[in-house]
Structure 1
Amino acid sequence: MKKDIQDYILRTPWLRKAIELDLIMLENQLPYFIFTELFDFILKKQPENQGNMNIPPYLSKHWKESESHDFFIRITCEFFIDYYRNGKATIKKPGEVELQQLNEIKHFTDLVRQFMCPDSGYPPDPHVKIKCLYTAKQLDRAGVNFVPSDDHSLADIHRTKVTYNCFCIGWKYLKLKVPKLKVEDDTECLMRNVMALEQCLYPCEAHICNYISLLDQLINTAEDVELLVEKDVVQNFLGSNDAVANLFNKICDQIAETSFCYGTL
């Protein structure tokens, strides 16, 4: 419980949030291996006879290095849990494959990007370029049904065709399953830092840049935002639908993309 947390930062929500965002800023990053080596150094310096020194069991020097690294990535993930599927899922016990992938992160910004990237991978097609698509309002009028999703990563968008039979007449409509996006005051800062990282290190796997480009296509006006809010796909904490529309209409400025991972979508 919050009242049982002794650390001042962790039990002060506004302070924790401010530090959390500060640790995601791309210019503030240190290589992740520095933290793991510091953590190993602390473990090795623990005394043999701990007695009543109130040292947590996870700082025991008897731990293997691999176990300490697994523990450190778990507590790192827990600190940034709000960015893992919008904080809906737990990552206290990730599988071996997931642990291996997370242990290969470069820094905290890279970790948050991993949380956002689609589960299925969506290999980008270098031959598919971003083109002018339809807006959310236009797709809604054409029969596309936007459905919110809680159990996927932020950029994991799926579509399914549904056949509906009534009075021996059948017709099809498209269902687009979109993970919920919470748009807050710090959303632009978060997205810009992750997008800047992709521009530098992942130009051919720019999943988040592609995701934001897709939203930019879906959202042109406040009416598009209003529709996505009504469908519970977007949670607007900025207050104004115009503010959300302006955010997505400008956030892709100066972003260069060589491929589009939602080409088949």
Structure 2
Amino acid sequence: MEAMVKKAQPVFSTKTCCIYKAPHELRKLNEDAYTPKVVSIGPLHYLGNPRLVTMEAHKQVYCQHLFQRSEASVAELVSCVQELEPQIRACYSEKINLTADELVKVILIDCCFVIELFLEDEWMINDALFSTPWMHALVIINDLILLENQVPFFVIDKIYNLAFASQLNNGGEFSSFMSIAVDSFSYFNKQGLLPPAANSIAHFTDLLRYFYLPPLHRRPSRVSRVIVLGHSASELVEAGVKFMVNESSSSHGCLLDLEFKDGTLRIPHIEVSNITDEIWLRNMVALEQYHYPEEHYITDYVAFFAHILKTSKDTGVLIKAGIIDSISGGNYDSSVANLFGDVGKGPMLANTNVDYLKICDDLNAYYNDPWNNKMATLRRDYFTTPWKTAASIAAIVLLILTVIQTVCSILQVK
């Protein structure tokens, strides 16, 4: 026992680790959302899934193409990864059952593949791999944003800088790797953000999260409370709450900017694709559970929507308001509610965005105000259609005239 205890070491270091297996509580709800479909990147899914083996040969072809045009020799590129091998291994939460040489090989091939993929040369467009119906850019991108399917960003960046040193340093045709990575994930980058430096991003899942956060100076403070919202979207509508698209937020693209003012809840427009959105939501939430336990802004967003979207009726409210749209088409009311409900299950919340807490407090207070409920009932029962509105106004005018006539009659009698 003493010998065993002396040899005991932490599974991973919280200071260096940034690539994790999704928490069991999240993973069991949808394993496919964390598992690559086409290509494995990094050691966690390396040869662990038979359907990914085919891509290994393609990755080697891409790696060969980068070697052919690299300014650095193969030996120099290998040496670069060898020097970084201990740092790379320390980035993973799981024990990597590969020798140093095996891990260097996996990382180098995967990094070269990603670089060539992002450069989008003509030879790749004509590649038979991408001419097949089941293979297109979004399939690859979906695999590249998975938390378990990552290599550290600093490694790819260093290989890229070594391979194209002169084109980068002397104003050549190559942009920084951060720039081409941002371009490759432009579908998610509605705000048009560019991280300040390569060392500010841990990997592609982290880059994706960066796209959805407000700029650093606009990020709300956090307090040790959890979201409590007692009423769903359809219930809030019955109390008189209006839902509208947050146009001001849409202009700068921050999905997290919610606003409640004067009885109106403004929410940025959401495009819902059953596959893509579930993947990025689940993986960013998983990343925050481990890497950002005190700053889980994406998890706050999911938790809020899990409260207001409990049924297809609630989703219908947001669809009618133009807040939720679908690029997949079809009847998706129930699937959207289930999406946020499922993703919202499991995460642990240490604290919450103060802006969301205030919105929830204000919504609860608005719902519980008797005056708001009475006014909502009045609008719902008497002013929902032009005919009802006209009839109600006519009735009110008739009532007022009747009262005036009665008063005049009383005065004449006196």
TM-based fold match above 0.5: yes
SS for the counterpart of 1:210 is helix
Deviation at 1:109, TM superposition (A): 0.2
1:158 aligns to what?
259
Separation in structure 2 between the aligned mates of residue 252 and residue 36 of structure 1, nearest angstrom: 34
1:254 aligns to what?
346
Contact 2:157 2:198 in 1 (8 A): no
1:263 aligns to what?
357
Q: Which sections of structure 1, spanning at least 5 residues, go unmatched?
A: 47-58, 162-172
1:122 aligns to what?
220
Moved over 4 A (4+): 11-14
Separation in structure 1 between the aligned mates of residue 266 and residue 197 of structure 2, nearest angstrom: 26
CA offsets 1:140-163 (integer angstroms, 9 cap, x no match): 22232222232231112123x3xx
Separation in structure 1 between the aligned mates of residue 144 and residue 197 of structure 2, nearest angstrom: 20
1:201 aligns to what?
291
- Number of residue pairs aligned between Structure 1 and Structure 2: 224
Q: Which sections of structure 2, spanning at least 5 residues, go unmatched?
A: 1-119, 360-414
Matching residue within 30, 37, 40 for 2:151? 30
CA offsets 1:55-83 (integer angstroms, 9 cap, x no match): xxxx355249xx97x73222211111111
CA, structure 1 residues 108+218, in 2 after alignment: closer, same or farther (shift >3 Å)? same
Matching residue within 170, 188, 195 for 1:62? 170
Deviation at 1:124, TM superposition (A): 1.8
Contact 1:23 1:29 in 2 (8 A): yes
Separation in structure 1 between the aligned mates of residue 349 and residue 155 of structure 2, nearest angstrom: 31
Separation in structure 2 between the aligned mates of residue 102 and residue 264 of structure 1, nearest angstrom: 35
Deviation at 1:102, TM superposition (A): 6.7
Separation in structure 1 between the aligned mates of residue 234 and residue 199 of structure 2, nearest angstrom: 41
Contact 2:289 2:348 in 1 (8 A): yes
Between Structure 1 and Structure 2, the one with more helix by share is: 2
Q: Which amino acid aligns with 1:222?
A: S
Separation in structure 2 between the aligned mates of residue 154 and residue 214 of structure 1, nearest angstrom: 13
CA, structure 1 residues 196+125, in 2 after alignment: closer, same or farther (shift >3 Å)? same
Contact 1:180 1:233 in 2 (8 A): yes
What are the equivalent positions in structure 2 for 1:135-154 lying under 5 Å apart? Answer: 135-149=232-246, 150-151=250-251, 152-154=253-255
Separation in structure 2 between the aligned mates of residue 255 and residue 141 of structure 1, nearest angstrom: 30
Deviation at 1:189, TM superposition (A): 1.6
TM-score where L is the length of structure 2? 0.50
Counting aligned pairs with the same residue, the percent is 26
CA, structure 1 residues 204+79, in 2 after alignment: closer, same or farther (shift >3 Å)? same
RMSD between aligned alpha carbons? 2.8
TM-score where L is the length of structure 1? 0.75
Contact 1:125 1:263 in 2 (8 A): no
Contact 1:215 1:248 in 2 (8 A): yes
Q: Give the structure with higher Rg (CA).
A: 2
Between Structure 1 and Structure 2, the one with more strand by share is: 1
Higher RCO (CA-CA < 8 Å; seq separation 6+): 1
Matching residue within 264, 267, 270 for 1:178? 267
